[in-house]
Structure 1
Amino acid sequence: MSKKQILGIFLLLSGLSAHATDSLNVRTVGSWPYGLSRAIAVDSMDGHRYAFTGFGGGIFIFDVDTPSMPVKIGEVATDGYMIHQIVINNGHAYLACYDKGLWIADISDPHKPTITGNCPLPGLAVDLAISGGFAYVAGDTTGLFVVDISDPVAPALAGSYNDGGCVWGIRVRDTIAYVADGDSGLSLLNIKTPGIISEIGRYNAVYASYVSLAGRYAYISSVPWNYGSTDVITVVDIGNPANPLFAGSGGEAATRVEIYDSLAFSGAYNNYQIFINTISDSTHPQLKQNYTSSEWGNAWHFAYSPGYIYVADERRGMVIYDISNPANILEIGQYQVPNFITLAVADSHAYLPSYGLRVLDVSVPTSITEQGVCFLDTSNHFGALWDVDVRDSLAYGLPGDSTMLTFNVKNPYTPQIVHTLTLPVKYVYYFTICDTFAYISSDTGLIFVNIADPESPFVIGQYHGIADPVNMTVRNGVAFVADYYAGLKIIDVSDPAAPHEIGHCDITGDVIDVAIEDTFAYITAMNNGLRIVNIADPSNPFEVGNFQMSADSWIGAYGVEIKNNLAYVAWDTFGVRVIDVADPNNPIEIGYHDNNSSPYYTLAWDIKLYDGYVYVVYENWGLQVYEYYGPEAGVSSDNIDNEKRSLVFLLKDAYPNPARKKATISYQLPAKSTVSLNVYNVAGQLVRSMDMGAQQPGYFNIPLKTDKLSSGVYFYKLTAGSNSQTKKFIVLK
């Protein structure tokens, strides 16, 4: 059996569940899911021009009456990870939400947009067209979906069509849908009756990733979305829908082609270029201008108003260009992507460092809104804050260069920089504030800043005995420092002018964060998981226990918080994990909210506890708020009520799947049971058997070695007393 056959079987067995979110004893409370930008639309209402830009799982609305000064006036979020297309129609925004189907927002008041309804779809929504009371959604490998949107509050699936291709793009005119069908080319479908869709013509001499229409021609991009290459635009004559014909080619394009008037726009993925083609000669597009930005990005989607193009750049956010003179394209406006790796929470607000400082109102965690933002001057700083901490009405931020910034956040709607302190280093990384001092990690060790007078902070001391400091916690005059390559360093900082090391504990792995409770330090060490160190005697710390999710080098434990013998860990693509450390020699996972099945790369980076909730920032997915509700409430779904339930018998999917050398099998026991695990091949033969003996109620992870198993499909059966369950997994060498 080949690798392709095995993967095909795996995908068939996985089905749609590959995009589900798994959880145990942790529920989602609220979300501010903004991240990368992949969609944009521009429309005029009530005498004003607005840009509707997708950022992660929601959209920001901008007043762009003055394109060089876009002003954010509203936001609205879905439950998904990424908006792929936005269509404005009759006071509503229709959103192709990649993993969550079609969403509809009422934008009649762009300052206060609201979600009116959504229609889940059994596929990935990657493009969208609106016509005659219906939304036509490109569903990737699951085909085309037709949604009745006559009632925006209750959109309903009205039809579908799947010819086995890969539907990337769609445009609709009259009763015909023009579908970019991947390897199958351009497909023309009769949609007169949405419930009975049929093919009336096809042009299959080209790979079709995206399609736009102008007159009697379809303009096709032939470059898959994640390729950095470019190709010509293929022009197909669709005058006779039953017999579409090649009409010509020319110009230059990458992922998408958007046509406005006589211009065709496209952008290159992973190579920030904008192509402006003229189609004055309809069958022979010609490259009019190729603009290359000095900043790296991915120009993904375009919108147009006379003299300007608005670009949804995956990495740079919304970028606005003056193209009134195509020979001299000018970048005149930008709104940066809200992407984060750290956060602080205080006084009912979350403070997120990104390309500046964002202030979110989290007083009602179920309804999080952004109140203010202060962007950095990129000519003076790197442009992005690495870390932030808050005391009283001041926020302190590190932009990564040699400065510490002080923000006045007394008015959360208008945060502003009030002081810049230049530090005697080249780069600063992370920091913590304790009492009247800021403790900062840098490229030369630690720096200590006296902030007793916020208007005149000053460096009071340094410590150069740490080569690669990351995060730290300070308690009772002692700094516990995560030293990336060297483990835990314990520094006496009772006199910041004369710090000195008093203890050190080697830790296996790349050490990132540290939290302290009682006489133990809880340390995240990337792919070596959570490490627990006894610090009762700071001069002689020693490791007593550890908890690991996976030995894979690309999955790491990052942020950690500790409270009441529970360690909360931001664990990369594994999301949030809750570890019971009451017995530090034997830590046990008792809860989690797992996003490793997300169709997007969503990394859990940092974590904070505040007012009974767990706040987590994700790369590409903004801020998520969770609640852990106790080991006695074992549930393996994202149940949003607070009903307490007894533990249930649960067997989770193996991870990773497919596996190579090892898989992790996770399960939950409702009562003390004798437990065994058997593994069978597709012929039903027993190939591996494990006897775990008697185990107490709770949640368990066990490693299953697969290095000696041949590639193929296997079944694993867990038996615990009278309970048993069987699941499939793949071994791929």
Structure 2
Amino acid sequence: MAKDLRREEAPIATALRPRRRSGPIFLLGLGSGLYLVLVAMLLWSLAFPAKPGVAPQITTLRQLNATRPGVLRLAVAGENLSPDTRLSLVRDSGGQRAVLANLPTYGLARDLILAGDYGLVANSYRGVQTVSFKDPERPRIIASLNLPGRAWGLSASGTTLLVAAMNAGIHLVDIQDPANPELLGTITTSSPALHACGENNLVYVLTTDRTLRIYDIRDPSSPALLSQTALPNIPWHGIKVGHRFLISCGKSGLVVVDIENPRHPRLGQRLALPGGASSMTTVGTLGYVAASSGGLQVIDLAPPGRIRVLSYLASPVRSFKVEVRGTQAYLAAGENGLQIIDVADPRRPFLRHAIDSPGNATAVALINKVALLASGVSGLEVIDLDQLPELTRTPLLKFDERIRRIRAGQELVFLAAGEAGLVILDNVVDTPPRIVGTIDTPGICQDMAISGNLVYLADGSGGILVIAVDDPIHPQRVGQVASSDPVTSLALAGGLLLATETSGEFQVYSLRNPQQPLLLGHLLLPGPARDITSTGTHAYLAVGKEGLVVIDLSDPRSPRLAGQLQSPWPQSELPNSNANQVLLHGSMAYIAHGSAGVKIVDVSEPANPRLIGQIENLGAAFALTAHDDLLYVADLENDVHAFDISNPARPLEVALLPTQTRIRTVAFTEGRLLAVGSGSGISLLPEPILGEQWGKTRQGERVFEVRKPVQAGEYTVRLFNGWGFDKRAGIALMNGKE
């Protein structure tokens, strides 16, 4: 009996692990019915293979009425929506709902001024166009005046329009009836004309040969040249203030010319501006300058002869023109569209709203409750000022130097600002960061570590500096440690200060005397470290092409190599894949590996770091920060990515946070994500809000619930799973309380 049982068991065991020759024979032994079923299943799988994972697709999306305060629910219909599909929200700043209309001008809309209910547009080689805005949602071109040359800039003197037409000089156009403009005459200039303005039969002309020319146009058909004045740089714009003519001269700033006697003008004060000057407008004794390198500068024009800069709000790209109404300045900010700046306190302007533009915004004008924006090849945009979005992302401060590192304390934010030393910002919630103090350093400030009111600086060839910031307005150097090679990175480990040098040396200092670190021990690393962090008795270093290095600090006088996880990518196969930064989050280390993405390493056993996952398909992962279970990756080539790392082995991208420049370092503080770009300043980025599936509607839509507070506004809604995502931008949401 036992023998027969063993004989019957054999075919079953073989069927589970069939051999090539005997398998079918044993299967037949199970009976022809089972055999036919298995064959049918095999043929079905070959004919209809299982689909690989697919990304969700959104067909419709709507907000459901709130069932309880503070909870937002969205109903989504679409394809490939499975139980593991999740949702994220990111606050938009583009403000597309505020755009009432877009009017193609079939040219290059370069400048714009108002004449009653009409707008006059300098449209490059198509001359000047008259646009009716009586119905702001349906603007229309009602007249065109073709002119010689390239219409570049506009200004009005009474009922005469002055058109700067580059090589064709200045055209004088009668706009007494804007619907029927007529050419009166032309001022011929020997160099291309960039700008003109007029008053009392006098016209002030700025040309590319760095000259101010003044003409008498009492006879428009025969303008008379009164004087010529050489300028220090190419003049882009000018404005008459009393008997002074203030000229925006690009990087040379403002130049003041005394024009009390138009036949004998005199050069006056020159005011260097940190952002240069593209154009200027005035309100009372204040001047508002669109910075040629980006942003807005506020100038005190009183008393004459001693004008001075009151404030500078920087932006990363060139600004062209500014208009002021009440306590708001409206800035045509080139590629950044329209920026609306609060200037109630002219010493501390801040960006309140931003509207993206499809073109290059070069001029702005205000009429009733709308703003008109000249956007180059995209024509004109009409923007409803009652529908402006709350700002979620924008550069707030600009620095000429490349920021190496940003660290956040409880009330202050610290920037390692290269040759500019240490920059200190306030960290007040719900207000834009502002500079409160700076201190120059002898070297190039690379990194820092913060301990209470002391900041330790890795100052390159300047060694390690100890800065007291108990008075952040006046930081003081209170200690210094010389180094044989430039210091590149720092970290704290209990009562120890850890440092690395370009030579590859790792150093451990005692902070028994916090103002005078004392060297305890050192270790030569496999290569120069780019970043360092620590937890417990171990330090974790990003060591370029050597990957992750773990140091045992249990004996600070004799640190030793505990473990290493080298980069699996040869530089020949993946150039620029060095380990740039290491971030500890729980028992995981996340390493930014440049073109190789992000490596995720289990360091629960420091001596045996294990690679458990990675994030690929990034341009160049350069910097990292984390908050809750979200990892933020600064990609030098493609904005800032946010990943859900609640399961570190399977990170999911939940959002892409657009930026206006290449981000080099990021930090999370006080519920805000701070990002610093290459020479473009510090930005606030929105934090993604995640939602989970809650159920279904009667119509079969999947319902996603968001339990975190959501402010009313426009959002990008993203559905995602492990295979991809779909998104919808500009979705208007209530805050869940209605």
Contact 1:505 1:543 in 2 (8 A): no
Calculate the aligned-residue CA RMSD, in Å: 5.9
- Report the Cα offset of residue 372 of structure 1: 6.2
2:640 maps to 1:592: no
Task: Determine which of 559, 565, 571 is the counterpart of 1:499.
Answer: 559
Relative distance call for 1:191 and 1:644 in structure 2 (3 A) is closer
2:423 maps to 1:357: yes
Task: Determine which of 339, 344, 356 is the counterpart of 2:398.
Answer: 339
2:395 maps to 1:416: no
Residue type at the aligned position of 1:547: I
Contact 1:632 1:647 in 2 (8 A): no
Where do 1:283-362 residues align within 5 Å? 298=276, 314=293, 338-339=397-398, 341=403, 342-347=405-410, 349-352=412-415, 356-362=422-428
Where do 1:64-143 residues align within 5 Å? none
Relative distance call for 1:287 and 1:614 in structure 2 (3 A) is closer
Residue type at the aligned position of 2:424: R
Q: Distance in 1 between matches of 2:477 and 2:204?
A: 53
Report what 1:608 is aligned to.
667
Relative distance call for 1:197 and 1:333 in structure 2 (3 A) is same
- Report the Cα offset of residue 212 of structure 1: 4.7
Relative distance call for 1:550 and 1:458 in structure 2 (3 A) is same
Residue type at the aligned position of 1:423: V
Task: Determine which of 230, 240, 256 is the counterpart of 1:251.
Answer: 230
Q: Distance in 2 between matches of 1:461 and 1:126?
A: 64
Where do 1:478-497 residues align within 5 Å? 478-484=538-544, 486-497=546-557
- Report the Cα offset of residue 594 of structure 1: 1.8
- Report the Cα offset of residue 373 of structure 1: 0.7
- Report the Cα offset of residue 526 of structure 1: 3.4
Task: Determine which of 157, 163, 169 is the counterpart of 1:173.
Answer: 157
- Report the Cα offset of residue 628 of structure 1: 1.5
Report what 1:404 is aligned to.
465
Task: Determine which of 530, 533, 537 is the counterpart of 1:477.
Answer: 537
Residue type at the aligned position of 1:699: F
Relative distance call for 1:261 and 1:575 in structure 2 (3 A) is same
Q: Distance in 2 between matches of 1:166 and 1:245?
A: 23
2:640 maps to 1:576: yes
Q: 2:686 is paired with a residue of what secondary structure?
A: strand
Where do 1:614-633 residues align within 5 Å? 614-619=673-678, 620-630=680-690, 632=692
Relative distance call for 1:644 and 1:278 in structure 2 (3 A) is closer
2:599 maps to 1:531: yes
Unaligned runs of 5+ in 1: 1-23, 30-78, 81-98, 102-116, 149-154, 224-229, 596-600, 649-667, 670-695, 702-722, 724-733
Contact 2:493 2:536 in 1 (8 A): no
Residue type at the aligned position of 2:495: T
Q: Distance in 2 between matches of 1:188 and 1:462?
A: 77
Which region of structure 1 is more displaced relative to structure 2, 536-545 or 124-133?
Answer: 124-133
Task: Determine which of 579, 596, 620 is the counterpart of 1:511.
Answer: 579
Report what 2:623 is aligned to.
559
- Report the Cα offset of residue 403 of structure 1: 4.4
Residue type at the aligned position of 1:623: S
Q: Distance in 2 between matches of 1:358 and 1:194?
A: 53
Residue type at the aligned position of 2:494: D
Contact 1:191 1:197 in 2 (8 A): yes
Residue type at the aligned position of 1:559: A
Unaligned runs of 5+ in 2: 1-86, 315-396, 694-701, 705-709, 729-738
2:88 maps to 1:25: yes
Task: Determine which of 438, 460, 468 is the counterpart of 1:375.
Answer: 438
Q: Distance in 1 between matches of 2:547 and 2:130?
A: 53
Relative distance call for 1:372 and 1:309 in structure 2 (3 A) is closer
Residue type at the aligned position of 1:174: G
- Report the Cα offset of residue 417 of structure 1: 1.9
Deviation digits for residues 171-227 of structure 1 (CA, Å, limit 9, x no counterpart): 44334454546677645566667888777666686544444546644444455xxxx
Residue type at the aligned position of 1:607: V
Q: Distance in 2 between matches of 1:427 and 1:135?
A: 59
**Percentage identity across paired residues of the two chains:** 19
- Report the Cα offset of residue 548 of structure 1: 4.1
Q: Distance in 2 between matches of 1:185 and 1:457?
A: 68
Contact 2:674 2:682 in 1 (8 A): no
Q: Distance in 2 between matches of 1:524 and 1:299?
A: 39
Contact 2:481 2:516 in 1 (8 A): no
Q: Distance in 1 between matches of 2:654 and 2:688?
A: 10
Q: Distance in 1 between matches of 2:617 and 2:445?
A: 30
- Report the Cα offset of residue 162 of structure 1: 8.3
Residue type at the aligned position of 1:529: G
Q: Distance in 2 between matches of 1:168 and 1:427?
A: 51
Contact 2:495 2:511 in 1 (8 A): yes
Residue type at the aligned position of 1:251: A
Which has the larger Rg?
2
Relative distance call for 1:147 and 1:699 in structure 2 (3 A) is same
Relative distance call for 1:214 and 1:450 in structure 2 (3 A) is farther
Where do 1:656-675 residues align within 5 Å? none
Residue type at the aligned position of 2:234: A
Q: 2:638 is paired with a residue of what secondary structure?
A: coil
Q: Distance in 1 between matches of 2:279 and 2:519?
A: 46
Between 1 and 2, higher relative CO (CA 8 Å, sep ≥ 6) is seen in 2
Q: 1:567 is paired with a residue of what secondary structure?
A: strand
Q: Distance in 1 between matches of 2:546 and 2:249?
A: 42
Q: Distance in 1 between matches of 2:202 and 2:398?
A: 39
Q: 2:621 is paired with a residue of what secondary structure?
A: coil
- Report the Cα offset of residue 261 of structure 1: 6.4
Superposition TM-score, scaled by structure 1 size: 0.53
Deviation digits for residues 498-551 of structure 1 (CA, Å, limit 9, x no counterpart): 334342523652432221234543222334433334545545656554434555
Relative distance call for 1:611 and 1:302 in structure 2 (3 A) is closer
2:491 maps to 1:432: yes
Whose strand fraction is larger, Structure 1's or Structure 2's? Answer: 1
Contact 1:27 1:640 in 2 (8 A): no
Paired residues in the alignment total 515
Q: Distance in 1 between matches of 2:130 and 2:599?
A: 48
Q: 1:627 is paired with a residue of what secondary structure?
A: coil
